[in-house]
């Protein structure tokens, strides 16, 4: 089941009716868990088993981390809990990739090691609930939060269906207190929740799904198209993945808001960023913060003996982004993508340490030539990364990049009626609206005529511009 499936609105309404009809908090929690399991079951029984075992392990280890007084015992329990979380991820997501890579490596030494043909069950949302569980264990270990004392609270945190498939990656410190307080909801929450759902559906169905067909053709077979078409393809992919993923996040936040739960923002106008560091503060924010807090900062602490702070931070940024790339998928394409962003972040870190970061008072106009050049450079790095992120193999990515850089004139010239107009819409929104504003939250405070007009326009776009077939969410496969 997906947010864009025909049956999902019925499922959501039924969940909300039953949830808010129950007055007792303990019953509400189990209602939420039940509906989350039904949602999870729509993707297969394997996902239910893995997430349940992970929840049991996290809950038990969290209690042990809190009760143990010996530091050595606490470290052992932490490693045990992390292993319990990472084992399913390693097996279901990376085992085949690791076997193929090892086999390919051995061929260079004259050994032929066949890769066994294994059909692994797809565990939907595996990366996301694994990261949620690991962040909980880290926070309990470092004393940032108390271990959950109620199994139903923790289970509802891990299996909560709006964030299950593709985030946002909510932290237990933010989620569990909301569960304990009860599902408080106001009329304003209902309106804001509906706005999030409406805006998210528009991004996904009206923009991302319209782009998907042509973008997929270009990205999958770049040898067929000329340079101008390849430019369209990578730009179209940038708009597709943004509207697809931010649309999913908006819909997840909207579903949660209707239940009285606030999930964190995941996107804040990322394509308006003036440097690559700012881009990662605005793109997939919850994932960026996760890698910052649980990968980059521990690397910084463990390597503090290195005298040159800039070199240390640069190396740690590259390592962090390589792991971030590998998290996205078991493919060298994602590793290269992570390496590109890691190197870009390291270069910016070196530049910023040398020149100093500008303060807010020194910030230039959005249309200042230096600002525009900075944005163009940042977007160039992002688009370069998308060449590897959006193609299936390294050979296809190199073909795409080579034909793009040499501006190949042979091949099909595809003039998509969707890519340029929809790109223009997204670019205009990024440049004209303050990038630190959240118009969805603000809209509920506008005048009634403004709100009615906005809702009408969005509904008309949904009813008139939605393609006949919905495309699966891009980040579901991660």
In a shared domain, residues 322 and 194: yes
Q: What are phi and psi for residue 225, nearest 5 degrees?
A: -120, 155
Does residue 417 carry a pLDDT above 70? yes
In a shared domain, residues 262 and 244: yes
Q: How far apart are CA 310 and CA 332, in angstroms?
A: 28
Mean pLDDT of 386-395: 94
Instruction: Find all residues with CB under 8 Å of 464, minimum gap 6, and list them.
Output: none
The whole-number pLDDT of residue 196 equals 95
Instruction: Find all residues with CB under 8 Å of 106, minimum gap 6, and list them.
Output: 112, 113
Q: How far apart are CA 36 and CA 41, in angstroms?
A: 9
In a domain, 476, yes or no: no
Does residue 270 carry a pLDDT above 90? yes
In a shared domain, residues 198 and 137: no
In a shared domain, residues 108 and 146: yes
Each residue's pLDDT tens digit, 34-43: 999 999 888 8
Q: How far apart are CA 86 and CA 61, in angstroms?
A: 14
Q: Which of 133, 151, 184 is the last residue of a domain?
A: 184
Distances (CA, A) of 100 to 96, 112, 235, 240, 332: 6, 11, 32, 31, 12
- Percent of the chain at pLDDT above 70? 96
In a domain, 457, yes or no: yes
The whole-number pLDDT of residue 432 equals 79
The whole-number pLDDT of residue 232 equals 94
In a domain, 39, yes or no: yes
CA triplet 333, 337, 339: central angle to 5 degrees? 115
Mean pLDDT of 160-183: 88
The whole-number pLDDT of residue 360 equals 53
In a domain, 262, yes or no: yes
In a shared domain, residues 114 and 209: no
4 — pLDDT class (breaks 50, 70, 90): confident
With contact defined as beta carbons under 8 Å apart, do 204 and 247 qualify? yes
Each residue's pLDDT tens digit, 65-98: 988 888 889 999 999 999 999 999 998 888 888 8
Mean pLDDT of 201-207: 93
The whole-number pLDDT of residue 278 equals 94
In a domain, 432, yes or no: yes
334 — pLDDT class (breaks 50, 70, 90): very high
Q: Which of 135, 154, 184 is the last residue of a domain?
A: 184
In a shared domain, residues 324 and 362: yes
The whole-number pLDDT of residue 429 equals 86
In a domain, 478, yes or no: no
Q: 10 Å Cβ neighbour count for 106?
A: 12
365 — pLDDT class (breaks 50, 70, 90): low
Mean pLDDT is lowest, of 136-145, 210-219, 401-410, 429-438, for 429-438
Does residue 362 carry a pLDDT above 60? no
Q: How far apart are CA 250 and CA 174, in angstroms?
A: 18
In a domain, 2, yes or no: no
Mean pLDDT is lowest, of 37-51, 95-109, 126-140, 174-188, for 95-109
In a shared domain, residues 227 and 203: yes
In a shared domain, residues 260 and 234: yes
Does residue 262 carry a pLDDT above 60? yes
Distances (CA, A) of 99 to 85, 127, 293: 21, 20, 31
Each residue's pLDDT tens digit, 436-454: 888 888 888 889 999 999 9
The whole-number pLDDT of residue 281 equals 95
Residues marked as catalytic: 328
In a domain, 284, yes or no: yes
Computed on alpha carbons and rounded to an integer, the radius of gyration of the chain in Å comes to 23
Domains in the chain: how many in total?
2
411 — pLDDT class (breaks 50, 70, 90): confident
In a shared domain, residues 19 and 98: yes
Q: Which of 184, 206, 236 is the last residue of a domain?
A: 184
In a shared domain, residues 324 and 445: yes
Q: What are phi and psi for residue 305, nearest 5 degrees?
A: -70, -15
Determine the structural domain holding residue 334 and report its residue range: 189-471
The whole-number pLDDT of residue 251 equals 95
Q: How far apart are CA 96 and CA 119, in angstroms?
A: 9
166 — pLDDT class (breaks 50, 70, 90): confident
In a shared domain, residues 157 and 300: no
For residue 451, which of 167, 242, 194, 94 has the smallest C-alpha distance?
A: 194
String of DSSP letters for 83-107: HHHHHHHIIIIIHHHHHHHHHHHHH
String of DSSP letters for 30-93: HHHHHHHHHHHHTT-HHHHHHHHHHHHHHHHHHHHHHH---HHHHHHHHHHHHHHHHHHHIIII
Most confident of 23-27, 168-172, 319-323, 463-467: 319-323
In a shared domain, residues 277 and 145: no
25 — pLDDT class (breaks 50, 70, 90): confident
């Amino acid at each position: 089941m997906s947010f864009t499936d025909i049956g999902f609105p019925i499922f959501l309404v039924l969940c909300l009716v039953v949830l808010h009809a129950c007055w007792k908090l303990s019953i509400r929690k189990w209602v939420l868990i039940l509906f989350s399991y039904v949602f999870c079951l729509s993707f297969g029984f394997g996902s239910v088993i893995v997430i349940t075992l992970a929840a049991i392990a996290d809950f038990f280890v969290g209690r042990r981390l809190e009760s143990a007084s010996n530091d050595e015992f606490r470290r052992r329990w932490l490693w045990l809990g992390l292993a319990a979380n990472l084992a399913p991820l390693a097996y279901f997501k990376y085992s085949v990739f690791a076997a193929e890579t090892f086999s390919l490596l051995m061929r260079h030494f004259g050994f032929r090691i066949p890769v066994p043909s294994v059909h692994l069950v797809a565990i939907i949302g595996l990366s996301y609930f694994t990261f949620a569980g690991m962040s909980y264990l880290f926070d309990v270990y470092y004393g940032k939060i108390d271990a959950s004392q109620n199994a139903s609270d923790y289970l509802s945190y891990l299996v909560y269906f709006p964030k299950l498939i593709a985030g946002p990656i909510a932290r237990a410190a933010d989620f569990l207190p909301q569960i304990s307080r009860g599902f408080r909801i106001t009329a304003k929450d209902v309106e804001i929740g509906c706005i999030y759902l409406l805006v998210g559906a528009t991004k996904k169905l009206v923009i991302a799904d319209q782009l998907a067909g042509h973008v997929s053709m270009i990205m999958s077979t770049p040898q067929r198209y000329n340079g101008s078409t390849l430019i369209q393809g990578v730009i179209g992919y940038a708009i597709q993945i943004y509207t697809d993923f931010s649309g999913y996040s908006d819909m997840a936040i909207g579903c949660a808001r209707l239940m009285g739960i606030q999930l964190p923002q995941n996107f804040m106008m990322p394509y308006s960023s003036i440097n690559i560091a700012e881009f990662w503060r605005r793109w997939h924010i919850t994932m960026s913060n996760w890698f910052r807090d649980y990968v980059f900062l521990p690397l910084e602490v463990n390597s503090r003996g290195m005298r040159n702070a800039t070199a240390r931070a640069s190396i740690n940024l590259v390592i962090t982004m390589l792991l971030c790339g590998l998290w996205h998928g078991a493919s060298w394409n994602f590793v290269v993508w992570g390496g590109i962003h890691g190197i870009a972040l390291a270069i910016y870190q070196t530049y910023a340490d040398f020149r100093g970061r500008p303060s807010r008072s020194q910030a230039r106009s959005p249309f200042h030539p230096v600002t525009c050049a900075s944005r163009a450079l940042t977007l160039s790095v992002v688009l370069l990364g998308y060449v590897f992120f959006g193609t299936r193999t390294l050979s296809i990515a190199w073909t795409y990049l080579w034909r793009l850089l040499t501006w190949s004139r042979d091949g099909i010239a595809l003039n998509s009626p969707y890519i340029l107009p929809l790109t223009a819409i997204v670019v205009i929104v990024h440049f004209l609206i303050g990038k630190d504003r959240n118009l969805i939250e603000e809209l509920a405070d506008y005048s009634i005529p403004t709100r009615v007009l906005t809702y009408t326009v969005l509904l008309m776009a949904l009813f008139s511009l939605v393609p006949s077939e919905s495309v699966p969410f891009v980040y579901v496969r991660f």
